[in-house]
Structure 1
Amino acid sequence: MTSIDSEVVLLACAGSAPAPRPLPLHGSRRPRTLPDIPRIDLSGPPDRSNIDPILRDRSPRRVIVAGGDADLAAVVLRLLRTERLDVEIAYLPAGPTPATRAWGLPHGRAAAELAVAGTAGPVPLVRDDNGGVLVGRGEISPIVGECWCDQHLVLRGRGPRLVVVPTPDGIAVRAGRSRRPPDGTLRPLPPKIPSGRGSAVGRAVQIGGEPMTVVHDGVTHPRLVPRWTWFRHTEDLLLVRA
């Protein structure tokens, strides 16, 4: 991206930290600062009522999301639902989050500079079968049941925790005690094993068992579910990363 224009908007989600300003940018014919970008302050969580009109009326080429992982996921969901995955997404969090760790993104002033002057590239867009998306971290704790990642068995029986994160290579999952995000290590279980915990990375993670509580991007699903699936969408997300 070589210039900033009216096709770039900053969505300041409720409760987000103030964006660093002024932010001098280099590499363009005249210095630009973050205040040059139209800022839209959202009074409530991002949803169809406040995001869809912006996408329709402004038709932005890039949207900068100032907020948390749940806000980023909500905006990405509206891009998916309105068939606007051609819109570039930049993330401006106040501090490190599961999404910044998953995608190697900065925070604070460095995030603001990247959001304005960085280049967008395709990354896997992870959806779930309950109508949502995952941008940072999914967790089920505890869990009793079975989990498969593509053809790889990751969990059978009882586990203290199952963690799922999006990665450039797909969806990484690990069963175990650790709260650390999975690193994509392929350590599947033998298919006939009576119980055990492993890890994998692939296009889809399917989970079934006793009713479980699913937390995705810090938001707890409103009801217990006996099964859950995260899967890679057929179209990628355009994320500003470099």
Structure 2
Amino acid sequence: MSRLVLLACPDAGPAVDNGSPRPLVRLPARPGREDVDPVLAEYEPRRIAVAGTDADLAAVLLRLLRTERLDIEVAYLPAAASPATRAWGLPTGRAGADLADSGTAGPVPLVRDDGGGVLVGRGEVRDLTGESYCDEVLVLRGPTRRLVVVPGPDGIAVRAGWSGRAPDGRVRPVPPKARAGRGSALGRAVQVGGRPFTVVADGVEHPRPLPRRTWYRHTADWLLVRP
């Protein structure tokens, strides 16, 4: 069993140190079952550090979920600041590498979607005309250019607006009887429905327009190494 295994994807940053005694495994971008599962079985790591993009981190976390290995601690070594580093308050560069080695992991919300994926940094619904609820709070009725969903320590934050600015966790509901409106909220689940719209999750655009999308907090947390 290895204490820490470094999983380096193609966009890994300079924090990846080939001279380190820890095992280093090179993976493709957005690694899948055939890439990640054999590594987990071979090394049986107590902790993994994912070097790459938010989409790479989400792909690895999905494999931990699918293989019932959410007890493995996860550190993140992005090449630069990203929606995930901002959502979880993570450092980058040398500080991120030091944290991966010596930081403490704790449970944080695991956000899934109804398409079988997970979200670690930022989800977007673009050019939407429809409705959206966060739990029982109405956050959109009518048109909006962007609806942004961000996971975090307190749950799932959502904001509808024209600028695409990330939500701040404040609850600003749309009045139930309003014909149109855009608001924000924080909760356990976000449901979106309307005319077919574009979904982008952790920088990856869904291959086709969707008429609905749900993000929700999983029943179990994941273990993230944080400051």
* Range class of TM-score, shorter chain: over 0.9
Q: Aligned equivalents of 1:173 and 1:45: distance in 2?
A: 25
1:209 maps to 194
Is the 2:54–2:84 Cα contact (8 Å) retained in structure 1?
yes
1:139 maps to 124
How far residue 43 of structure 1 moved from its aligned partner, in angstroms, is 3.9
How far residue 52 of structure 1 moved from its aligned partner, in angstroms, is 0.6
2:206 maps to 221
Q: Aligned equivalents of 1:64 and 1:210: distance in 2?
A: 39
> How many percent identity over aligned positions?
65
1:11 maps to 7
Aligned structure 1 segments of 4 or more residues deviating by more than 2 angstroms: 17-22
How far residue 7 of structure 1 moved from its aligned partner, in angstroms, is 2.6
Is the 2:2–2:44 Cα contact (8 Å) retained in structure 1?
no
1:28 maps to none
Is the 2:7–2:27 Cα contact (8 Å) retained in structure 1?
yes
Where in structure 2 are the equivalents of 1:52-91 lying within 5 Å? 52-91=37-76
Which residue identity lines up with residue 10 of structure 1 in the other structure?
L
Q: Aligned equivalents of 2:30 and 2:189: distance in 1?
A: 28
Is the 1:10–1:66 Cα contact (8 Å) retained in structure 2?
yes
Is the 2:11–2:51 Cα contact (8 Å) retained in structure 1?
no
Which residue identity lines up with residue 64 of structure 1 in the other structure?
A
Change (3 A) 1:95 1:204: same
Q: Aligned equivalents of 2:152 and 2:206: distance in 1?
A: 22
1:103-155 per-position Cα deviation (integer Å, ceiling 9, x unaligned): 00010111000111100001100000000000000001111000000000000
How far residue 55 of structure 1 moved from its aligned partner, in angstroms, is 1.3
Is the 1:20–1:109 Cα contact (8 Å) retained in structure 2?
no
How far residue 177 of structure 1 moved from its aligned partner, in angstroms, is 1.6
**SS at the partner of 1:160?**
strand
Asked if residue 153 in structure 1 is aligned to residue 138 in structure 2, the reply is yes
How far residue 21 of structure 1 moved from its aligned partner, in angstroms, is 4.5
Where in structure 2 are the equivalents of 1:89-168 lying within 5 Å? 89-168=74-153
Change (3 A) 1:222 1:104: same
Is the 2:160–2:182 Cα contact (8 Å) retained in structure 1?
yes
1:175-217 per-position Cα deviation (integer Å, ceiling 9, x unaligned): 0022221010000111121110000000000000000110000
RMSD over aligned Cα atoms = 1.4
TM-score after normalising by structure 1: 0.91
Unaligned runs of 5+ in 1: 23-33
Unaligned runs of 5+ in 2: none
Q: Aligned equivalents of 1:13 and 1:90: distance in 2?
A: 14
Structure number, greater radius of gyration: 1
Count of residues in Structure 1 that have an aligned counterpart in Structure 2: 227
Q: Aligned equivalents of 2:222 and 2:127: distance in 1?
A: 31
Which residue identity lines up with residue 186 of structure 2 in the other structure?
V
Which one has a larger percent strand, Structure 1 or Structure 2? 2
How far residue 20 of structure 1 moved from its aligned partner, in angstroms, is 5.2
